[in-house]
Structure 1
Amino acid sequence: MKKPLIGIIARCELSETKMNLNVVHEAERIAILKSGGIPILILPPQSVEYNSEVPREMKRLSEEEKEILQTQIDMCDGILMPGGDKMYEYDRYVTEYVIQSKKPLLGICMGMQLMCTYNKKITLEANASKICHFSKKKKAHIVYLKEHSKLRYLCRKDHFAVNSRHHRHVVDANGFRVVARAEDGVIEAIEGTEDVFQLGVQWHPELDYEQSEESRQIFLAFINSML
């Protein structure tokens, strides 16, 4: 059986020697491999050093640059939109193109936030709760899954503990269905209303893939949706 090709959106980072890099985090790459997919990197299309740029001050994507992204995405069976610190226009365009193309999508942390904001001028709200949403703990808080949701079905639980690495959160699901919340009401997971697999989670299932059955089931369901 042919393994699905999974495009992971590159994240722009600065190395210890001040070199500008486009990277994929090892945990994401390994989770895709162990779940039966083939990971490849989707690179940004503009001829700039992204780490030196302020996203809102950058030139808009040209039609040619959009086509570069489309060509990369069309090669893939599914897309993983990972977490990160900055949202660039190419992130928003990729999210929009994937959603409109009805291609399988897994959004993690900022990736979920992009699913909720890619086509709207929505300001993410700062976390202000007794629950710590940015923690180095392996298990930071509990998420509660909505009854009859796809996420609850594949995880086989109505609640479980997750890690948490975000400073801000979304307040609107942008047409997606909210399927998990934290105790303080913060949206923790969204899913599409159609048959195609499009899931966003605010936590990082790739970080505890080996320890968490729920995390493994999320990645396995993502890959299996393309088989």
Structure 2
Amino acid sequence: MSAPVIGLTTYREDAAWGVWQQTADVLPHAYALAVEATGGVPVLLPPVTQVGAADALMARLDGLVISGGADVDPDRYGAEPHPQTSNWRPDRDAWEVALLDAAEAAGLPVLGVCRGMQLMAVHAGGHLHQHTPDLVDHEEHSPGGDVFGDIEVDTVPGTRLSALVGDRLTVSCHHHQSVDRFPGFVASARAADGTLEAMEAPGDRFCLAVQWHPETAADVGLLAGLVRAASEFAAARRAPADA
């Protein structure tokens, strides 16, 4: 069986390398390394405005990761921006929403990471807490700068997430926002302060999202789960032609 192809959405930011300083489509390399380490082939998916591009990709992808990044545009969930909400990227929001629509129609396995979880909740008609420290009175979920917060989470028994990572684990977080409402999903992990740290869609399809960054951890059980689901999806898609 060939390795499944996993699409990874990217940032579009000003970047510098060598003698160049330009707008670039970038993603921390840990994502691609984690996908490769678990048996997948990573493909980067920068924001695209072409109509139908997301649908066209579904025939070529076996799985999708909605990656971390900037805040989601509050206008997408009918809210005024909080003073701490900043740097949203309408082009990326629109592209990833189109990808989620196409993935849902195709039954493609999806994993959301940090911002990806927030966008998936908003895509489903949900709402965000725009600044989690206002609710929990601490900043441990995002200590600042390029530092991850170590957060202990408890998974919900019987969920797909619990089967993949166990009952309790310490995760690497970097989010000042969190999910408030998440229609169509069930909670699958929370921090001790009550913050929703993971959600998943019920049913057979792998559609799971976490607030933490599994690509940074030595244990990449979540990405391994996505890659296994993508392999099964690819095999099922080929089955009629092979019959």
TM range (shorter): 0.7 to 0.9
RMSD, aligned α-carbons: 1.8
Distance 1:131 1:147, change over 3 A: farther
User: Residue 145 of structure 1 aligns with which residue?
Assistant: 155
Call closer, same or farther: CA 1:121–1:192 in 2, change over 3 Å: closer
Structure 1 residues 119 and 34, CA, compared in 2 at 3 Å: closer, same or farther? same
Does residue 22 of structure 1 match 2:32? no
Larger relative helix fraction: 2
Q: Structure 1 residue 75 and structure 2 residue 60: aligned?
A: yes
CA contact (8 A) 1:42 1:73 kept: no
Output one character per residue of 1:93-147: Cα deviation in whole Å (capped at 9) or x when no partner. 2122213332100110001111100143734431122351103555522111111
SS in 2 for 1:39: strand
Task: Determine which of 30, 33, 38 is the counterpart of 1:35.
Answer: 38
Q: 1:108 aligns with which of 113, 119, 122?
A: 113
Q: Which moved more, 1:183-192 or 1:90-99?
A: 90-99
**Contact 1:95 1:114 (8 Å CA) reproduced:** no
**Paired residues of 1:44 and 1:90 also in contact (CA < 8 A):** yes
Code of the aligned partner of 2:155: L
Q: Percent identity at matched positions? A: 27
* Separation in 1, partners of 2:173, 2:148: 8
Structure 1's 76 and 193: CA in aligned 2 closer, same or farther, altered over 3 A?
same
Equivalent residues of 1:83, 1:110 under 8 A apart: yes
1:132 aligns with 2:140: yes
Structure-2 change in CA distance of 1:76 and 1:138 (3 Å): same
1:59-70 matches, within 5 Å, as 65-70=50-55
User: Structure 1 residue aligned with 2:223, among 213, 216, 219?
Assistant: 219
Matching residue of 1:179: 188
Of the three residues 91, 97, 102, the one matched with 1:97 is 102
Alignment TM-score, normalising by the size of structure 1: 0.83
Which stretches of structure 1, 4 residues or longer, exceed 2 Å deviation after superposition? 119-125, 135-139
CA distance in 1, matches of 2:185, 2:23: 35
> Which letter does structure 1 place at the counterpart of 2:173?
S
**CA 1:100/1:124 → structure 2, altered by over 3 Å: closer, same or farther?**
farther
Structure 2 residue runs of 5 or longer lacking an equivalent are 71-87, 232-243
Long gaps (5+) in structure 1: 47-64
Q: Check the 8 A contact 2:185/2:199 in 1, yes or no.
A: yes
Give the conservation status (yes or no) of the 8 Å contact 2:140–2:149: no
Specify the code of the residue in structure 2 equivalent to 1:219. L
CA contact 1:182–1:188 (8 Å) conserved in 2: yes
